Structure 1
């Protein structure tokens, strides 16, 4: 199974915060770090060092999507955040980005893990294919 990680974060969120959130989320759901095939976020975060550094540490690509591309996934979100919309133009960066990347790479996707919150970041995991990958 390939996992696609969607991330949203505050400006300047440290790579260790993002990495710890990913590791804890994977562990909580019994998923292997080796299954992570890519990271995704909104294009507003294209220059966010923590995202770029995490992708480099993991040896996976990081892909950025526009708010318009992410908005296509709104009906499939587990939660719609007015705060996220005010900041980004979409109602859920992490879940939308995870789904967008999974579908771009591997076809029809579903959320494997809905948004996980941290004080400075949100994370969601998507996979493609049948339930469980």
Structure 2
């Protein structure tokens, strides 16, 4: 049986997005993909969300670090994104928070990364999963 992959969950969210909404999106996505919560190594987002209560609470509930990166760092993986969002760029300075954050976190930890789950949207939140390619 193959080992569980080391995965990094990248989130984008609107201000005030609840921990319940973020958790539901994460758990639904993992379940649909047949992946275990235990495979998660970190939650990641843009530095603008470093103190976002829902993200902070989710990381604490899962016992995982919340890693945040600036827009310039996130733009370093733009060629790997499944799509580029002009709206995300207008609000944050990067072309996609969830996918970029997941990819950067995974690359920092694992040396290389690919998207395991492309950007998924539910209400006020977006999520992507990345891990070693």
Same fold (TM over 0.5): yes
TM-score bracket, normalised by the shorter chain, equals: over 0.9
The list of structure 1 runs, each at least 4 consecutive aligned residues, that deviate by more than 6 angstroms after superposition, is: none
Is 1:115 paired with 2:115?
Answer: no
Aligned to 2:30: 26
Aligned to 1:81: 85
The count of aligned residue pairs is 129
Deviations, residues 81-107 of structure 1 (Å, cap 9, x unaligned): 000000000010000000000011111
**Matches of 2:33 and 2:111 in 1, distance apart?**
23
Q: CA deviation at 1:119?
A: 1.5
Is 1:64 paired with 2:64?
Answer: no
Q: CA RMSD in A?
A: 0.6
2:55 is paired with a residue whose SS is helix
2:88 is paired with a residue whose SS is helix
**Matches of 1:100 and 1:5 in 2, distance apart?**
11
**Matches of 1:3 and 1:74 in 2, distance apart?**
19
**Matches of 2:51 and 2:113 in 1, distance apart?**
27
Q: TM-score, normalised by structure 1?
A: 0.95
Runs (5+) with no aligned partner, structure 1: none
Is 1:44 paired with 2:48?
Answer: yes
